[in-house]
Amino acid sequence: MKEQVQQVIEDIRPILQADGGDIQLISVDEKTGIVTVGLHGRCGCCPHAQMTLQAVVERKIKELVPGVTAVERV
């Protein structure tokens, strides 16, 4: 599962980098399906970061990786 999540993050990364941000996979809990990521650059301090996390990152990961239940940021 971790490799699948990492691949989705690699696919999403250019979108965030285009706006001066970035994303890093921190962990994947295969028992609970919770993925933890870190947002950096503009994404780390952007007031819309939570919306980006849910609308873009979480939606895409849940769509493409079976078993993922949530994406949280640290």
Total domains, the chain: 1
- What residue numbers bound the domain in which 63 lies? 2-73
Q: Is the pLDDT of residue 9 over 80?
A: yes
Q: Supply the CATH number for residue 62's domain.
A: 3.30.300.130
As a whole number, mean pLDDT of residues 15-30 equals 91
pTM assigned to the model = 0.86
Secondary structure element (H or E) that encloses residue 10, with its range: helix 2-18
Query: Which DSSP category does 14 fall into?
Result: H
pLDDT in tens, 26-66: 999 999 999 999 988 766 666 666 777 777 889 999 999 99
Q: Is the pLDDT of residue 68 over 80?
A: yes
